[in-house]
Amino acid sequence: MRFDLAASYGEERLPRYTSYPTAPHFSPAIDADTYAKWLSELPAAASASLYLHVPFCREMCWYCGCHTQIARRDGLIAAYQRTLRSEIAEVAETIGRRIKVEHIHFGGGTPTIMAPEAFAELMAQMRQSFFVLPSAEIAVEIDPRTLTSEMVEAMRLSGVNRASLGVQSFDPVVQRAINRVQSYEQTAAVVDMLRGAGIAGVNFDLIYGLPHQTVASCLDTVRRALELGPDRFSVFGYAHVPAFKKHQRMINEAVLPDGLARHDQACAIANALKEAGYVQIGLDHFARPDDAMAVAFNERTLRRNFQGYTTDKGEVLLGFGASAIGHLPQGYVQNQVQVGAYAQSIASGRLATAKGYGLTDDDRLRADIIERIMCEFSADLGDICARHGAEPEAMLKSASRLKPLISDGIVRLDGDRLAVANDSRFLVRSVAAAFDAHLDPGKQLHSRAV
Predicted local confidence at residue 304, as pLDDT: 94
Please give the share of the chain, as a percent, with pLDDT higher than 70: 96
Angle at 105 between CA 132 and CA 210, to 5 degrees: 170
> For residues 111 and 142, what is the distance between their CA atoms, to the nearest angstrom?
7
Q: Give pLDDT < 50 ranges for the chain.
A: none
> For residues 211 and 208, what is the distance between their CA atoms, to the nearest angstrom?
9
Angle at 71 between CA 65 and CA 73, to 5 degrees: 175
Closest by Cα among 337, 333, 284 to 307: 284
> For residues 305 and 148, what is the distance between their CA atoms, to the nearest angstrom?
30
Integer Rg of the chain from CA: 21
Predicted local confidence at residue 443, as pLDDT: 55
Predicted local confidence at residue 12, as pLDDT: 79
> For residues 313 and 235, what is the distance between their CA atoms, to the nearest angstrom?
23
Letter string b/e over residues 70-81, b meaning 16 or more CB atoms within 10 A of that residue's CB: ebeeeeebeebb
pLDDT tens-place string over residues 23-36: 999 999 999 999 99
Q: Where are the domains of the chain?
A: 24-358, 361-448
pLDDT tens-place string over residues 115-147: 999 999 999 999 999 999 999 999 999 999 999
Does CATH number 2.120.10.80 belong to domain 361-448?
no
Does CATH number 3.30.499.10 belong to domain 24-358?
no
> For residues 345 and 322, what is the distance between their CA atoms, to the nearest angstrom?
10
pTM for the complete prediction? Answer: 0.93
For 146, the enclosing helix (H) or strand (E) is none
CA distances for 41 relative to 20, 272, 313, 315, angstroms: 22, 48, 20, 13
